[in-house]
Amino acid sequence: MLHSDLIRVNDLLITVLLHSGSRWPSKGSKPTAQPVHVSLAIPHDISSTARSDDLSQSINYSTLASTLRTSLSPAAASLEEPAFESLEQIVFRCFDLLLLPEPTSTPRLPGAQIRVVQLKPPLHCQALAVEGVATCGADASWRLIELHHIVENLECYPIVGVNPAERLERQLVRINITVNDPSATGMSVHWLDFRTLTRRLHQKVEATSYLTLEALASFVAVETLQHLQSNSNGIIDYNPKVSIKAAKPCALVFADSSEVEITRVSNDYPTELHSSPRSLNHSASGDMHSAAIALGSNIGDKFQNIELALRLLENPLSVVTDRSTLSDNAFLFVVNTSFLYESAPMYVTDQPSFINCACMIETNIPPVVLLQLVKKIEEIVGRRPSFQNGPRAIDLDIVLYDELVLDTRMPQEQLTPDNLSVDLVIPHPRMPEREFVLRPLFDMIPEYVHPSLHKTLSTLLHELLLVSNDPPMEKVLVFPRYPLPPNVSSPLSGIGPVPSTLTFWRYTDSKSVRKVQSKTKGRTRLMATLNATPDSFSDGSTHNTIPSALAYIRQAARASVDIMDIGGYSTRPGAAFVSVDEEIDRVVPIVQAMRSAGSTTIEEDNEEIRRVKEMPISIDTFRWEVTEKAILAGANCINDVYAFTGPQNYPYPALEVDRQQNNESMRQMKGLARKFAVPVVLMHSRGDAGMNKDYSAYSYSDDGAVIEAVREELGLKVDQIVKGKGSIRRWNVIVDPGIGFSKTVEDNLELLRRGGAVTADTLIGRVPSKRKNPLTGFPQLIGTSRKSFLGVVLANARGRSAEAKDRAWATASAVSCAVQQGALVVRVHDTHEMSDVVAIADALWR
């Protein structure tokens, strides 16, 4: 508890970067510099200083004040520190600064009281303040014991008074509101939406015409309590106390009572606040919440389990059919996904590895009901009851829900992070020690501030990696098995059949800096191209008949090719138009021939035939009609040089005339990629491959214009594909910088030379609006094979040109560079030769 002697510093004026008061997910709001007053009080026994007048016994106020000033103001904050999302966050940051132990400093302070006042608050009120009291925990932490939210001098003009003269005109009423949050129970709403509250109160109060100020104050209390309740996310036992002070400054002429003060809790209004917090009537609020759900699987077809769970999650009404639990208007959308990871089992190590990922959802389902939904999904996907942390078909954890801090367990059980089987603890208590939870969250919301640890997820992950001795988690890319068997069924109507897994690729981020090296060395994957086009630039018409195509594919299988890329429409500048039907006729029979290899002729059922049958096939097309037919025939991956935006895609977002067509292409391709759960290769391009080579608009970037352009332009499309309602899973995306498409020779060389920078974890954009590289962490496919820029370099160096088919050695050099830059896949024609090149390059650099 706080000691009775207090040392105060009052009204320290500090300028901070503050978002408009709207908080995470901050929908693009720009932070602005705002003045705040910070006051602090530190409990301190002054008796010894008072007696001795000894400076060393006293607390140095000037150091405290300057620590706060320098650490909170934007000069220090601009780069490392995110802007503050709310006043609460500033208060918590002050506690961090004052109460967390520092190696150099004098003894730790026992506790502190902080008040932060926003001096330029929303309309209609004079100041907003958040006041907190915290004490030091035993370890390196602090504990919040009180939190107050204060609105000062909300000014409204209602009709109020008994006097006939008073009832003719509106008059000024000033209202102060204090909300006391019973944080000590650990079940608090730390964040108050001041803006919505003051707007609501102002509107409602102006419409009243009470006779007495007492009635008006009581009305304000009810409105405030209702607002708090509707924002409490159905927390059980959330019981805030509000104090209302109301004054009529101009009332004295009427000799009226000019000021009242009341304090109320919701039990004081049994009829007005009829829906008690326990009844969870979410249809009444109809609002939207963001939550993060972690998924893990370690038995059966893990990838199929995860995909099925996600589809079930998006169909909450089919999963929970009891409408007294889940109302008719319940919705849930998966709006963002992480990458997919394979991790060694934790705690109980004698079991198969886990596949982990996480997703962000938007929903109107309150947390306690959401828990029932995920339990039901675990049951449907086939969770078998097993020992804690043991094997399971699917495990779903609600790890975050808005900024909620919630523990539904009995107080005596709250001391342990386990025993969660039927209860809900948010944020998930073991999150800080679990890389397999933190890392997927970091992919999506690195700047989210953990509501009780007060650190960003990025900080938590880095702290964990500093002490971790585990090998790095590997990312995984999954190919589903097509064609589907004729009668696969779905566990629920409304959900398409989820394919089983054909194969999957593990890979590590080459840039992940770890103490411990990966146990499995990464391997660059080889994609062979098969152009089923009579006019393809590089191999003429050699493969446009089924037998010669199959011969080429068998040869590729011998060269350990990992994936076959089949295209029927050349993207070469000036290539002849091919109709949709013609394109389908060119590619689909080859896909069918591969999938039925060995079954028609009487061939020996050898290893090579098996490899041809099981080889992942990607379909190189930008047309959804072709994509659909090819996947139904057995293709497992989409490779689209226009990244779902169609050929008329430059500049992008498209010009008015092309928008409709692009939109349709995006919608259809996203729909197919989602329905079939196939990986997609999204390439950077700017319309016609021979044009639009000007990147000067990006010359501001230190990383060079063309690299920045690919991050920005392809990033825009990738964002549109992996974010929001109806988006595809992040782990299903491979990016391709589009070497040879709308780029000069030097641009192509630069993209190859510094290819790793395209997907680096860095900031992009111009200075005031820097943002995270949207391509961060995606695996890359690099295609250089036989491309004309290699011919130009050869011609310049040797004084003679090299035909496409004579560029194999030049390609070898380029492929080697792509491997060194960390490409996951290289796309080649000369499979036999490049297989050797990749083997040596992998041995050198992976």
Ligand X SMILES: *[C@@H]1O[C@H](CO)[C@@H](O)[C@H](O)[C@H]1NC(C)=O
Query: Residue 524: what are its φ and ψ, rounded to 5°?
Result: -75, 135
x/- track of binding to ligand X for residues 485-524 (CB under 6 A): -xx-------------------------------------
Asked if 176 is part of the footprint of ligand X (rule: CB under 6 A), the reply reads yes
Asked if 811 is part of the footprint of ligand X (rule: CB under 6 A), the reply reads no
Please, how many CA atoms are within 13 Å of residue 253, restricted to the half-sphere of its CB? 5
What is 22-70 written as a DSSP string? --SS--SPPPEEEEEEEEEEEE---HHHHHH--GGGS--HHHHHHHHHH
> Nearer Cβ to ligand X, position 63 or 517?
63
**Looking at 162, 284, 288, 697, which residue binds ligand X (CB under 6 A)?**
284
For residue 25, cis peptide bond before it (omega within 30 degrees of 0): yes
Asked if 277 is part of the footprint of ligand X (rule: CB under 6 A), the reply reads no
- Residue pointed to by tokens 């290539």: 575
Asked if 407 is part of the footprint of ligand X (rule: CB under 6 A), the reply reads no
Smallest gap, in angstroms, from Cβ of residue 579 to ligand X?
25
Smallest gap, in angstroms, from Cβ of residue 57 to ligand X?
11
Asked if 153 is part of the footprint of ligand X (rule: CB under 6 A), the reply reads yes
Binders in 32-71 for ligand X, by CB under 6 A: 55, 60, 62-63
> Nearer Cβ to ligand X, position 1 or 55?
55
> Nearer Cβ to ligand X, position 153 or 501?
153
Please, how many CA atoms are within 13 Å of residue 267, restricted to the half-sphere of its CB? 5
Asked if 348 is part of the footprint of ligand X (rule: CB under 6 A), the reply reads no
Collapsed DSSP state (helix, strand, coil) of residue 470? coil
Query: Residue 701: what are its φ and ψ, rounded to 5°?
Result: -80, 140
Smallest gap, in angstroms, from Cβ of residue 724 to ligand X?
8
Smallest gap, in angstroms, from Cβ of residue 497 to ligand X?
12
Residue 596 has a CB neighbour count (10 Å cut-off) of: 13
Residue 35: name the closest of 116, 120, 115, 93 by CA: 120
**Looking at 85, 152, 181, 395, which residue binds ligand X (CB under 6 A)?**
152
Smallest gap, in angstroms, from Cβ of residue 446 to ligand X?
8
Instruction: Give 487-551 as a 3 state SS string.
Output: CCCCCCCCCCCCCCEEEEEEECCCCCCCCCCCCCCCCCEEEEEEECCCCECCCECCCCCHHHHHH
**Looking at 7, 15, 25, 167, which residue binds ligand X (CB under 6 A)?**
25
x/- track of binding to ligand X for residues 203-242 (CB under 6 A): ----------------------------------------
Residue 523: name the closest of 134, 842, 126 by CA: 842
Which residues make Cβ contacts (< 8 Å) with residue 682, sequence separation at least 6?
640, 643, 644, 714, 717, 718, 721, 733, 734, 735, 736
Smallest gap, in angstroms, from Cβ of residue 153 to ligand X?
5
> Nearer Cβ to ligand X, position 247 or 633?
247
Smallest gap, in angstroms, from Cβ of residue 745 to ligand X?
33
Asked if 28 is part of the footprint of ligand X (rule: CB under 6 A), the reply reads no
As beta bridge partners, residue 540 has 536
Instruction: Give 381-449 as a 3 state SS string.
Output: HCCCCCCCCCCCCCEEEEEEECCCCEECCCHHHHHCCCCCCCCCEECCCCHHHCHHHHHHHHHHCCCCE
Smallest gap, in angstroms, from Cβ of residue 26 to ligand X?
8
> Nearer Cβ to ligand X, position 193 or 585?
193
> Nearer Cβ to ligand X, position 11 or 607?
11
> Nearer Cβ to ligand X, position 436 or 448?
448
**Looking at 185, 279, 542, 769, which residue binds ligand X (CB under 6 A)?**
279
Residue 352 has a CB neighbour count (10 Å cut-off) of: 13
Tell me the pairing of strands 825-828 and 781-783. Answer: parallel
Helix, strand, coil content of the chain in percent (nearest 5)? 35, 20, 45
Q: How many residues bind ligand X (CB under 6 A)?
A: 32
Q: Which stretch binds ligand X (CB under 6 A): 282-290, 309-317, 505-513, 516-524?
A: 282-290
Smallest gap, in angstroms, from Cβ of residue 596 to ligand X?
16
Q: Which stretch binds ligand X (CB under 6 A): 86-94, 471-479, 658-666, 682-690?
A: 658-666
> Any idea of the CA torsion for 786, 789, 795, 798, to the nearest 10 degrees?
-80
Q: What whole-number distance in Å separates Cα of residue 453 and Cα of residue 429?
A: 11
Asked if 174 is part of the footprint of ligand X (rule: CB under 6 A), the reply reads yes
**Looking at 501, 663, 668, 762, which residue binds ligand X (CB under 6 A)?**
663
Binders in 519-548 for ligand X, by CB under 6 A: none
> Nearer Cβ to ligand X, position 335 or 438?
335
Q: What whole-number distance in Å separates Cα of residue 124 and Cα of residue 278?
A: 34
> Nearer Cβ to ligand X, position 358 or 561?
358
Q: What single DSSP character describes residue 780?
A: B
**Looking at 39, 281, 372, 555, which residue binds ligand X (CB under 6 A)?**
281
Q: What single DSSP character describes residue 170?
A: -
What is the rounded end-to-end Cα distance, in angstroms, of the chain? 56
Smallest gap, in angstroms, from Cβ of residue 174 to ligand X?
5
> Nearer Cβ to ligand X, position 515 or 667?
667
Which residues make Cβ contacts (< 8 Å) with residue 362, sequence separation at least 6?
288, 289, 290, 332, 333, 335, 725
Q: Where are the beta strands (DSSP E) in 568-713?
A: 617-620, 637-640, 680-683
Smallest gap, in angstroms, from Cβ of residue 656 to ligand X?
9
Binding residues for ligand X, per CB under 6 A? 25, 55, 60, 62-63, 152-153, 174, 176, 245, 247, 259, 275, 279, 281, 283-284, 290, 335-336, 360, 418-419, 444-445, 486-487, 659-660, 663, 667, 723
